[in-house]
Amino acid sequence: MTSASGEPTGCIFCDITDPGRSDLIVARGRLSFVILNLYPYNNGHLMVVPNRHVPNLASMAPDELAELMQLTRRSEMVLNEAYKPQGINVGINLGRPAGAGVADHLHVHLVPRWNGDTNFMTVVGNVRVVPESLDATKAKLEPIFARLALRGD
């Protein structure tokens, strides 16, 4: 979201779509985009975000909801191909009490999971160990998103 002057308003998802700030975006639709989580829980942690600044599903138009789910589906397919996880957490946190870090701009998390992927570092040290850089993750995922988009998947 930007002001009339074009200045950022403070929403990380609205501001990231501005030119020069989109380095974490791995795929775009007409009404939504897929972005890497800057602080991932696991390699490949993605978020699907509507372009429009909306706080909840009830505020979305039917075409926005449809594309959000289509990109969530495509993200699942990409993660399965790229990482072969044993599971994927897919979730939406509506409001701060529900765990939303960005409470006023809806987004869907997809977190690849493997048996035993939560270790003592997270439990004891409150630290995540993610061995892949975001640049490497983006380089791995972008071509798969592009191929699936061309196929219409």
- Catalytically annotated residues: 107
Distance CA 108, CA 93 (A): 8
Distance CA 150, CA 144 (A): 10
Query: Quick check: helix, strand or coil at residue 137?
Result: helix
The dihedrals phi and psi of 40, each to the nearest 5 degrees, come to -70, 150
CA end-to-end span of the chain, whole Å?
A: 29
On whether the CB atoms of residues 82 and 30 are closer than 8 A, the answer is no
On whether the CB atoms of residues 32 and 67 are closer than 8 A, the answer is yes
